[in-house]
């Protein structure tokens, strides 16, 4: 199937697989003979459409037929779609190699052309390549020094320039300063004008490792920078523990207006970056292992949760929310739906709590929340091996487009083509299901009695092998976890609080086979 038609298929009923739960409208795979994946990058264009990014190492297969022939093995592919993702308007390919040039970002310029950002020479320099609307190169500019620099985010400014944000290992060249040793990164922020000339360069952080995530516009023409820090000194002196989210508001000259470390005593991070919150502040997506400090609603004490933080323009936290199960959940991207709800794309690991299934080593996980961060629903996309959700973006019809990669033709991906190699990309479209609150339906694979219960509940399971039993309360917090080979399992509950609980039973591979509600009196 030609990938050109992939986007048209999003609106054709025949692509919907019957066993897939609504509200997933469609899922399509893209790949070749090596490794292919959708990146977390996505950018809106002036006509209301948008650009998504893919990475490919394949030398044959549909991805090479539809986007670009493999004149070089490592390629960054940018695809321009219309607002509803029904038409692919164009695609462009660029060499993407750590030892040469690795492009990751494409933004539309005020003149209708495009700037493509990335790294060159094993990360020693950041690069911007300016093209006109037809793809002709107008200029290429490099920024950096002797050490390695990682570019993690770009944004356009109102004056036609650009702000680049990432991390730097050295203080030479355009950085001009560095905290600590050459083995630790600092936050690096660089402003250039419309012609790519450097306007200012700033280093922030401390003597630990500081990893950039996103740069987001601020109301006064400045910006917010958001990242993860292990520093506990200088700009990060208020670090709570092993690692925090770092956020700072900068003015138009790159000077700090305020900065904060957000987190608790365990490692917390900003893996999913940040977006504007719609009222002058910033909405941050990441992961939280902490149960204290700024993390107010950890779902489970085991592992980490996806963590959303909504901050106002003064740096005050408006609210924070956690979503997850009993493993490692983290965000890779976040967006606002057209109705004001919030979508998060990331990964999950274990079937428990708000994670309904566990297919393999790691699964792509999509979370939907209301405008205040209250959990609405979540969906797991997984195979028997590692799968990652990377990108999420709102479409003009109220649905959202997500993307990532999967590594095995099994689980939910079993009906779809897998083209070989290490991974294939996927694109998935979800309808808006803001009014469908997460519910669990009883399953005949298990029987529970008595219900309501007072002192003990008895679980009878109707399948063989090892069973993994977990019980979560209505907030998604796990109150009981055990493995058993018995067909009849007793759980003492005399010290539990009265209320509603979900008893979840999974097989030895982590696949959820039975869920029932239990009332404890």
Which tens digit of pLDDT belongs to each residue from 250-295? 999 999 999 999 999 999 999 999 999 999 999 999 999 999 999 9
Q: What is the pLDDT of residue 11?
A: 31
Compute the distance between CA of residue 260 and CA of residue 233 in angstroms, rounded to an integer. Answer: 12
Instruction: State mean pLDDT over 197-209.
Output: 98
Span 430-454, pLDDT tens digits: 987 654 433 333 345 678 889 899 9
Q: Are 395 and 401 in contact (CB under 8 A)?
A: yes
Q: What is the pLDDT of residue 361?
A: 85
Q: What is the pLDDT of residue 279?
A: 96
CATH number given to 446-520: 2.60.40.3080
CA atoms within 13 A on the CB side of 419: 26
Contacts of 425 (CB under 8 A, 6+ apart): 29, 30, 31, 36, 37, 38, 54, 63, 403, 404, 405
Compute the distance between CA of residue 494 and CA of residue 62 in angstroms, rounded to an integer. Answer: 59
Better-scored residue on pLDDT, 478 or 245: 245
Share of the chain above pLDDT 70, in %: 89
pLDDT band at 479 (very low <50, low <70, confident <90, very high): confident
Q: What is the pLDDT of residue 515?
A: 67
Domain chopping of the chain, boundaries: 97-204, 446-520
Span 389-413, pLDDT tens digits: 999 999 999 999 999 999 999 999 9
Q: What is the pLDDT of residue 514?
A: 67
| pLDDT surpasses 80 at 208 | yes
Q: What is the pLDDT of residue 254?
A: 98
Pairing of strands 125-131, 317-323: unpaired
CA atoms within 13 A on the CB side of 312: 5
What is the phi-psi region of residue 313: left when phi exceeds 0, alpha when psi lies from -120 to 50, beta otherwise?
alpha
Span 122-177, pLDDT tens digits: 668 999 999 999 999 999 999 998 888 999 999 999 999 999 999 999 899 999 99
Q: Are 115 and 37 in contact (CB under 8 A)?
A: no
Span 364-395, pLDDT tens digits: 999 999 999 999 889 999 999 999 999 999 99
What mean pLDDT is reported for the chain?
A: 88
| pLDDT surpasses 90 at 516 | no
| pLDDT surpasses 50 at 50 | yes
In angstroms, how far apart are the furthest CA atoms of the chain? 75
pLDDT band at 14 (very low <50, low <70, confident <90, very high): very low
- DSSP state at residue 21: P
Compute the distance between CA of residue 127 and CA of residue 124 in angstroms, rounded to an integer. Answer: 10
Backbone angles phi, psi at 366, to 5 degrees: -115, 125
Compute the distance between CA of residue 378 and CA of residue 389 in angstroms, rounded to an integer. Answer: 13
Better-scored residue on pLDDT, 242 or 446: 242
Q: Are 480 and 504 in contact (CB under 8 A)?
A: no
pLDDT band at 360 (very low <50, low <70, confident <90, very high): confident
Q: What is the pLDDT of residue 236?
A: 97
Instruction: State mean pLDDT over 96-109.
Output: 82
Q: What is the pLDDT of residue 506?
A: 75
Share of the chain above pLDDT 90, in %: 65
């Amino acid at each position: 199937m030609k990938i050109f038609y992939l986007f048209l298929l999003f609106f054709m009923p025949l692509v919907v697989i019957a066993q897939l739960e609504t509200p997933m409208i469609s899922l399509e795979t893209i790949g070749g003979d090596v490794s292919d994946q959708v990146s977390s990058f996505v950018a809106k264009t002036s006509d209301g459409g948008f650009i998504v990014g893919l990475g490919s190492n394949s030398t044959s297969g549909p991805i090479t037929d539809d986007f670009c022939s493999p004149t070089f093995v490592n390629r960054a592919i940018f695809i321009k779609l219309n607002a509803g993702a029904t038409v692919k308007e164009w695609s462009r390919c660029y060499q993407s190699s750590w030892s040469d040039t690795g492009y990751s970002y494409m933004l539309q310029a005020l003149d209708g052309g495009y700037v493509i950002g990335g790294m060159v020479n094993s990360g020693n320099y950041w690069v911007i390549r300016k093209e006109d609307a037809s793809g002709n190169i107008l200029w290429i500019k490099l920024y950096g020094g002797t050490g390695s620099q990682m570019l993690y985010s770009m944004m356009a400014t109102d004056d036609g320039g650009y702000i680049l944000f990432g991390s730097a290992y050295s203080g030479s060249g355009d950085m001009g300063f560095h905290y600590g040793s050459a083995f630790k990164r600092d936050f690096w922020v660089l402003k250039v004008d419309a012609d790519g000339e450097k306007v200012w360069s700033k280093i922030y952080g401390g003597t630990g490792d500081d990893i950039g995530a996103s740069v987001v516009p601020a109301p006064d023409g400045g910006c917010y920078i958001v990242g993860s820090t292990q520093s506990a000194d200088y700009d990060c002196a208020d670090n709570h523990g092993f690692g925090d989210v770092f956020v700072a508001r900068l003015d138009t000259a790159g000077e700090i207006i305020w900065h904060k470390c957000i987190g608790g005593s365990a490692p917390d991070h900003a893996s999913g970056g940040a977006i504007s919150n719609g009222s002058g502040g910033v909405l941050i997506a990441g992961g939280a292992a902490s149960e204290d400090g700024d993390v107010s609603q950890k779902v489970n004490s085991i592992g980490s949760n996806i963590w959303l933080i909504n901050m106002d323009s003064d740096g005050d936290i408006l609210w924070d929310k956690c979503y997850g199960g009993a493993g490692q959940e983290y965000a890779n991207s976040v967006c606002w739906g057209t109705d004001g709800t919030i979508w998060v794309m990331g990964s999950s690991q274990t079937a428990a709590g708000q994670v309904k299934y566990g297919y393999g080593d790691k699964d792509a996980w999509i979370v939907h929340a209301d405008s205040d961060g209250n959990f609405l629903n979540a969906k797991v996309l997984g195979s028997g091996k590692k799968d990652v959700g990377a990108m999420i973006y709102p479409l003009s019809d109220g649905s959202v487009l997500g993307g990532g990669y999967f590594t095995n033709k099994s689980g939910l991906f079993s009906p779809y083509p897998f083209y070989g190699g290490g991974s294939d990309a996927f694109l998935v479209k979800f309808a808006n299901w803001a009014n469908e609150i997460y519910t669990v339906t009883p399953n005949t694979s298990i029987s529970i009695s008595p219900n309501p219960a007072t002192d003990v509940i008895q679980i009878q399971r109707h399948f063989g092998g090892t069973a993994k039993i977990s019980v979560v309360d209505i907030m998604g917090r796990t109150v009981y976890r055990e493995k058993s080979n018995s067909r009849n399992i007793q759980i003492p509950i005399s010290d539990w609080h009265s209320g509603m609980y979900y008893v979840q039973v999974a097989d030895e591979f982590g696949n959820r086979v039975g869920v029932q509600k239990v009332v404890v009196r």
